[in-house]
């Protein structure tokens, strides 16, 4: 997914502490063995994962589309983006805040491997395993993970993140419901099939709205919560861009969705493009949720 533009803000300032080693870390595994190709798109090859979006250049472009930044960063803090993808958010922040250290992990090696700021480091890692750092972070983000985790896995990922945060550190979660609000009959068909597909994969399409509870369950103090309805393709440049990004999600899921709908991939793409062209008249939108959770200082 790449259609989330909500940006929670807080006045809480993350604490500064434990300096990390400055060595850059990158994946050493063979990239080809971690890729499988379906319907001319590249997908990760991690058998245990339910993630259904591609990891190829087209997907990286889609995720680069919206520019989200946040202004919470002072000097000399450690920031981690879990499931960073092509690392749009980290690249901006690392450039803007050269005195802080930024880290990105992802299950797939989609992050920029050759050119990135000196204070930005990447590593292949699974959010469902303890995070591979020997120091703690002041700020951690998870963004657009709804299609990445089974419902039961969110607590595991949040626990790993809690354990990787300094006391007083901030965890930012930005998620969207992948099921669009719409009057378009084709989009409703797609939405119904997507809900069935995600349920089959033990994912909860409505997970974004539940994450405050998961944060509390994992001992975070929820210091900010925000929802936003984002119109898609209604006519402004931002709507149109957001609509394209959302359509990219649907196209990225083509092999899985076509199988779920019992149609061939080309037929599915035609359906998506038709529904995509009608987003404005059909008042199509997505709902976004943003949370800030804090690891209490006294635990």
Ligand X SMILES: C[S@@+](CC[C@H](N)C(=O)[O-])C[C@H]1O[C@@H](n2cnc3c(N)ncnc32)[C@H](O)[C@@H]1O
Q: Which residue in the set 42, 106, 109, 175 belongs to the binding site for ligand X (CB under 6 A)?
A: 106
Binder among 80, 90, 93, 127 for ligand X (CB under 6 A): 127
Site for ligand X (CB under 6 A): which residue of 34, 116, 121, 143?
143
The CA distance from 183 to 264, in Å, is 24
Task: Find out whether 105 and 122 touch, Cβ atoms under 8 Å.
Answer: yes
Q: Which residue from 148, 161, 250, 292 is in contact with ligand X, where contact means CB under 6 A?
A: 148
Residue 39 three-state SS:
coil
Q: Which is nearer to ligand X, 253 or 275 (CB)?
A: 253
End-to-end CA distance of the chain: 34
Q: Which stretch binds ligand X (CB under 6 A): 14-22, 46-54, 131-139, 182-190?
A: 46-54
- Residue 83 CA to residue 162 CA, distance in Å, equals 15
Q: Do the Cβ atoms of 193 and 35 come closer than 8 Å?
A: no
Residue of the chain from 6, 126, 246, 287 that contacts ligand X (CB under 6 A): 126
Q: Select the residue interacting with ligand X from 52, 53, 79, 187 (CB under 6 A).
A: 53
101 with 79: CB under 8 angstroms?
A: yes
Helix 265-277 vs helix 185-200: angle between axes, to the nearest 10 degrees?
A: 130
Minimum distance between the CB of residue 55 and ligand X, rounded to whole angstroms? 6
Q: Which is nearer to ligand X, 94 or 127 (CB)?
A: 127
Residues 139 and 13: their CA atoms lie apart, in Å, by 10
We find the least distance from the C-beta atom of residue 196 to ligand X, in angstroms, to be 20
What is the contact surface with ligand X in residues (CB under 6 A)?
Answer: 1-2, 44, 49, 51, 53, 55, 63, 83-85, 88, 106-108, 110, 126-128, 143-145, 148
């Amino acid at each position: 997914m790449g259609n989330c533009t909500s940006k929670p803000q807080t006045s809480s300032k993350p604490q500064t502490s434990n300096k990390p080693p400055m060595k850059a870390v990158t994946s050493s595994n063979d990239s080809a063995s971690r890729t499988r190709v379906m319907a001319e798109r590249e997908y990760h090859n991690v058998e245990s994962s339910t993630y259904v979006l591609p990891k190829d250049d087209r997907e990286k472009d889609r995720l680069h589309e919206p520019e989200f930044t946040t202004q919470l960063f002072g000097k000399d803090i450690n920031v981690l983006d879990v499931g960073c993808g092509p690392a749009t958010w980290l690249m901006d922040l690392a450039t803007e805040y050269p005195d802080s250290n930024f880290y990105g992990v992802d299950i797939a090696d989609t992050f920029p491997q050759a050119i990135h700021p000196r204070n930005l480091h990447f590593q292949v890692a699974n959010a469902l395993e303890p995070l591979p750092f020997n120091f703690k972070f002041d700020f951690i983000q998870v963004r657009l993970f709804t299609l990445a985790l089974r419902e039961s896995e969110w607590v595991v990922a949040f626990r790993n993140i809690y354990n990787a945060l300094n006391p007083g550190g901030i965890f930012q979660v930005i998620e969207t419901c992948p099921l669009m609000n719409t009057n378009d009959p084709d989009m409703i068909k797609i939405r119904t099939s997507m809900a069935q597909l995600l349920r089959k994969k033990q994912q909860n399409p409505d997970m974004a709205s539940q994450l405050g509870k998961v944060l509390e369950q994992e001992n975070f103090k929820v210091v900010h919560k925000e929802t936003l309805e984002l119109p898609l393709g209604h006519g402004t440049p931002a709507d149109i861009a957001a609509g394209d990004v959302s359509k990219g999600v649907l196209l990225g899921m083509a092999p899985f969705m076509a199988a779920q709908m019992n149609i061939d991939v080309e037929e599915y793409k035609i359906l998506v493009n038709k529904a995509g062209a009608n987003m404005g008249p059909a008042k199509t939108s997505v709902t976004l949720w943003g949370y800030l959770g804090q690891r209490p200082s006294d635990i």
